[in-house]
Amino acid sequence: MCHALKLPFVFGNLHQPGVTSFTGNLPERKQISKQMHDAWISFACNGNPNHDQLLEEWTVL
């Protein structure tokens, strides 16, 4: 995994030229991106990344 690979998923830039060289081109990429968006938004709003569409709940530390 390369440094900053999460950025296209977090910022929704999966369509940009060259991104598929790092992320692949599977349709699941959009679902992963949506889950990451929702986790970051939830964390920013209430300090907890968990949300309804998350596949696995984050444990509070």
- Is 35 within the bounds of a domain? yes
Q: What is the pTM of this model?
A: 0.75
Q: Establish if 20 belongs to a structural domain.
A: no
Segments forming the whole domain that contains residue 32: 1-14+28-47
**Per-residue pLDDT band at 1 (split at 50, 70, 90):** low
Report the domain count for the chain. 1
Burial 17-48 (b: 16+ CB within 10 A, else e): eebeeebeeeeebeeebebbbbbeebeeeeee
**pLDDT score recorded for residue 59:** 84
pLDDT 10s digits, 18-58: 999 989 999 999 999 998 889 899 899 988 889 887 778 88
Let me know how many helices (H) and strands (E) the chain has, helices first.
Answer: 3, 0
